[in-house]
Amino acid sequence: MTWTQRQDDILRELHARHDVPMEEVCERIGKCASAVHRRRDKLGLPPRSGARYNTTIWPGHMVAELKRLWLENQLSCAEIGKALGKTKNAVVGKALREGLPRKDARKDAPCMPISEPQPAWVAPIARSCAWPIGEPGEPGFHFCGAPHVEGSSYCADHHKVAYKPYKLPWRAVINNMEAMR
């Protein structure tokens, strides 16, 4: 669907008028809301205030604090969010929109000592059955390890348990038989 110059002009005019609801804008242009939003973005028009996907408000002082905390690289994104009263995802999104550098896992973070030994089990070998036996983290947890069925991650016995053939309900079988007559 192409846009005409007239439709673009109507969009520009009505977009600037905040008293005209988006439903009316769509109706006057003859396009659905998602098409209007995409065209608005292509024309470089800012989102209307109160748009449902732009409701997070970031006052200038909060953006400055975000930048300061982000560049110090001492806190995680979740910790910055708690300090600012925002979610971790809101912090990450705003940082990316502000052009701040990506925050990789902090390489300078102190390593936490391991207080208890890690489980001794290892992942199954690629050509053996990956059926878990026991509870992860518990003593004796392991994988079956028998040779796997071609195209499956499990041996023949565990494949039968994991992949049961689909059976039609009895009524559907009867209806199919009657339809074939």
Angle at 122 between CA 116 and CA 125, to 5 degrees: 175
| pLDDT computed for residue 112 by the predictor | 47
Q: Cα-flanking dihedrals φ and ψ of residue 71, to 5°?
A: -75, -25
128 forms beta bridges with 147
Q: Are 57 and 84 in contact (CB under 8 A)?
A: no
Write the CA distances from 102 to 9, 58, 91, 98, 147, integer angstroms: 39, 20, 12, 11, 44
Q: Cα-flanking dihedrals φ and ψ of residue 157, to 5°?
A: -65, -45
| pLDDT computed for residue 111 by the predictor | 46
Q: Are 155 and 173 in contact (CB under 8 A)?
A: no
| pLDDT computed for residue 126 by the predictor | 66
| pLDDT computed for residue 125 by the predictor | 59
| pLDDT computed for residue 68 by the predictor | 93
Q: Are 179 and 158 in contact (CB under 8 A)?
A: no
For the chain, which residues make up each domain, given as ranges?
5-42, 60-97, 121-181
The closest alpha carbon to 36, from 150, 45, 62, belongs to 45
Q: Please list the pLDDT of the chain residue by residue as tens digits (181 residues).
A: 689 999 999 989 888 887 788 788 888 888 888 888 889 888 888 876 654 444 457 888 888 999 999 998 888 898 998 888 888 888 888 888 888 888 765 444 444 444 444 455 555 556 788 888 888 888 888 888 888 888 888 898 888 888 777 666 676 667 777 777 6
